[in-house]
Amino acid sequence: MPENHLFDSLSAYAGRNPEKPFALRVGHEPRSFGQLFHNAQRFAAAITSAGFKPGDRLAAQVDKSLEAIELYLGVVAAGGVFLPLNPAYTASELAYFLSDASPSIVVCDPARENEIAPLCNKARLFTLGSDGSGTLTDALTDALLEPIARTADDLAAILYTSGTTGRSKGAMLSHDNLFSNSQTLTEYWHFSDSDVLIHALPIFHTHGLFVATNVALLSGATVHFQSGFSPDQIIEALPTSTSLMGVPTFYTRLLADPRLTPELTANMRLFISGSAPLLTDTHEQWQTRTGHRILERYGMTETNMNTSNPYNGARRAGTVGLPLPGVELRVVGAEGPLPQGEIGTLEVRGANVFKGYWQMPEKTAEELRPDGWFITGDLGIVDKQGYVSIVGRGKDLIITGGFNVYPKEIEALIDDIEGVKESAVIGVPHADFGEGIVAVIVPENERLTENNVNAVLATKLAKFKQPKKLLLLPELPRNTMGKVQKKALRETYANLFT
């Protein structure tokens, strides 16, 4: 049989233990590992019959479902490239991704079929709803596709990251980028088939799609598969679970619930946090309330996971831990690598690092050095024991509720509104979301109102990107070079939400 690097690795456990439950869902029968991969091969056969070829992209803007996971695995089996998209993206945002990635198949929510059809160019459009029904599942037959041969360096996925210049970049991830990182994490975090993992993360992002899903598949862990983050569902699942992967917002929201106690979490062995900074305060409160020390790790779309606090050693609040096995990390300044203890840009190298940005060789060359070092854009420092702390972001990325938002994209839309002179979008501390988005706007005249701006943004931007607060000011602070001082704005409005 030809080898398909990622599919064969992820399905190895399922091959040995087809009856083992993979997913538990309230109100449904468990879905076994065997059923999951059987369905994946049916999806692979269905898309292949629809004309999908090895190397083609399949763009999926669908709600979280087990069928969406099967579709991801099916695309990999068919030798293709899976391209998940946030369901919150509007049609105008989607138009860019579809024209940039030129997928041969697009899969969308049944309710949005008419809206998305005109954006598909030559791609075939199918639907897949949150309950697993739609024209794509209708196209499934008993036919199974034998996995198409793919090598370690072939692409398995493209995940779009927001670009600092406003345009998203498609990070090309190979079979081995994904497999090697999930293998490293499985071992580092001691995952096995005795684990029950709470899976409440979205599956259009590296955290939920690759970290949580691939680790569970590889280790044989069962997941409590939840459609999204709900404190009630997590609290219900905790007594029968061993592990949770979440963004900091999960932890702050759970801390607000009086049901969170040591008894409730007595069966748990591991709480993991990542995708945005976990406040030391949250880490400490969690330990007081549950007796568990959250394990914080650091990664990004382009690199998978880079560092993690240790499983057995000290988990240090406010740090993202040590470079993972097989990942090299260095701190670099304007003149080159810096000695330990100095702040600079973090660079990483290893099998985890992506293959470059889809059809953007210049952007790739700017961020990925020829010798394999990737310039993360995060500013960090390494202490004497090797623990890495992230001290800021070179780029002005805002992370709100675990989602990345680049100010430039919002500023460009605001600046286009009639009556706006200019704008600056910043993130300031927010107890619930980590950072809350604030748009500082300089009006051209008195006719501009907050309602005007909000009405325009509501039609153009996904909800998570819409500012939580608009401030109308006579001017923006600038330095002598004429650059807007976002740092000063962030300081002035640091307590806006607290």
Q: Are 465 and 459 in contact (CB under 8 A)?
A: no
- Please list every residue from 21 through 80 that binds ligand AMP, using CB under 6 A: none
If you write DSSP's letter for every residue of 111-146 in order, what string do you get?
GGHHHHGGG-TT-EEEE--TTS-SHHHHT--S--PP
400 near ligand AMP, judged by CB under 6 A? no
376 near ligand AMP, judged by CB under 6 A? yes
Neighbouring CB atoms inside 10 A of 472's CB total 15
- Please list every residue from 152 through 171 that binds ligand AMP, using CB under 6 A: 161
The distance of closest approach from Cβ of residue 221 to ligand AMP in the complex, given in angstroms and rounded to an integer, is 22
- Please list every residue from 87 through 106 that binds ligand AMP, using CB under 6 A: none
The interface region with ligand AMP, picked from 93-101, 296-304, 335-343, 483-491 by CB under 6 A, is 296-304
Contacts of residue 234, Cβ cutoff 8 Å, sequence gap at least 6:
198, 200, 226, 244, 250, 254
The 335-354 contact track toward ligand AMP, x by CB under 6 A, reads --------------------
For residue 131, how many C-alpha atoms fall within 13 Å in the half-sphere facing its CB?
Answer: 6
Q: Which is nearer to ligand AMP, 106 or 320 (CB)?
A: 320
Burial (0-12, 13-18, 19+ Cβ within 10 Å), 51 = exposed
Q: What is the distance of C-alpha 181 from the center of its chain?
A: 15
Out of 93, 100, 296, 367, the only residue in the binding site for ligand AMP (CB under 6 A) is: 296
Q: Which is nearer to ligand AMP, 296 or 347 (CB)?
A: 296
- Please list every residue from 265 through 294 that binds ligand AMP, using CB under 6 A: 274-277
Amino acid in the structure at residue 103: P
Neighbouring CB atoms inside 10 A of 254's CB total 24
| Pairing status of strand 169-174 against strand 21-24 | unpaired
Residue 216 per-residue DSSP state: H
The distance of closest approach from Cβ of residue 429 to ligand AMP in the complex, given in angstroms and rounded to an integer, is 14
From residue 295, give the alpha-carbon distance in Å to each of 222, 233, 259, 307: 20, 22, 22, 11
Q: Which is nearer to ligand AMP, 61 or 206 (CB)?
A: 206
11 near ligand AMP, judged by CB under 6 A? no
Angle at 469 between CA 467 and CA 470, to 5 degrees: 90
308 near ligand AMP, judged by CB under 6 A? no
Out of 76, 200, 218, 300, the only residue in the binding site for ligand AMP (CB under 6 A) is: 300
| Pairing status of strand 388-393 against strand 344-350 | unpaired
The interface region with ligand AMP, picked from 66-74, 103-111, 299-307, 357-365 by CB under 6 A, is 299-307
Amino acid in the structure at residue 112: R
Which two three-digit tokens encode residue 92? 């105008």
301 near ligand AMP, judged by CB under 6 A? yes
The distance of closest approach from Cβ of residue 259 to ligand AMP in the complex, given in angstroms and rounded to an integer, is 26
Out of 172, 245, 320, 448, the only residue in the binding site for ligand AMP (CB under 6 A) is: 320
The distance of closest approach from Cβ of residue 402 to ligand AMP in the complex, given in angstroms and rounded to an integer, is 8
The interface region with ligand AMP, picked from 53-61, 297-305, 327-335, 456-464 by CB under 6 A, is 297-305
Out of 93, 367, 378, 411, the only residue in the binding site for ligand AMP (CB under 6 A) is: 378
From residue 216, give the alpha-carbon distance in Å to each of 219, 220, 440: 5, 6, 43
Q: Which is nearer to ligand AMP, 4 or 184 (CB)?
A: 184
Total chain residues near ligand AMP (CB under 6 A) = 18
Q: How far apart are CA 226 and CA 201, in angstroms?
A: 8
Neighbouring CB atoms inside 10 A of 339's CB total 9
The distance of closest approach from Cβ of residue 46 to ligand AMP in the complex, given in angstroms and rounded to an integer, is 30
Q: Which is nearer to ligand AMP, 36 or 390 (CB)?
A: 390
Q: Which is nearer to ligand AMP, 154 or 367 (CB)?
A: 367
The distance of closest approach from Cβ of residue 346 to ligand AMP in the complex, given in angstroms and rounded to an integer, is 8
The distance of closest approach from Cβ of residue 482 to ligand AMP in the complex, given in angstroms and rounded to an integer, is 27
Q: Strand pairing partners for 389?
A: 381
Q: Which is nearer to ligand AMP, 76 or 209 (CB)?
A: 209
Helix axes 5-16, 33-49, angle to 10 degrees: 140
Q: Which is nearer to ligand AMP, 250 or 298 (CB)?
A: 298
Residue 359 per-residue DSSP state: T
Amino acid in the structure at residue 451: N
- Please list every residue from 175 through 214 that binds ligand AMP, using CB under 6 A: 206
Out of 5, 393, 465, 490, the only residue in the binding site for ligand AMP (CB under 6 A) is: 393
Out of 390, 441, 453, 457, the only residue in the binding site for ligand AMP (CB under 6 A) is: 390
Q: Are 162 and 409 in contact (CB under 8 A)?
A: yes
- 61 three-class SS: strand
Q: How far apart are CA 386 and CA 353, in angstroms?
A: 20
The distance of closest approach from Cβ of residue 403 to ligand AMP in the complex, given in angstroms and rounded to an integer, is 8
The distance of closest approach from Cβ of residue 157 to ligand AMP in the complex, given in angstroms and rounded to an integer, is 13
Q: Are 124 and 88 in contact (CB under 8 A)?
A: no
Dihedral through CA 252, CA 300, CA 99, CA 414, nearest 10? 50
Which two three-digit tokens encode residue 80? 């293709």
Q: Which is nearer to ligand AMP, 39 or 180 (CB)?
A: 180
The distance of closest approach from Cβ of residue 400 to ligand AMP in the complex, given in angstroms and rounded to an integer, is 12
Binding site for ligand AMP (CB under 6 A): 161, 206, 274-277, 296, 298-301, 320, 376, 378, 390, 393, 399, 404
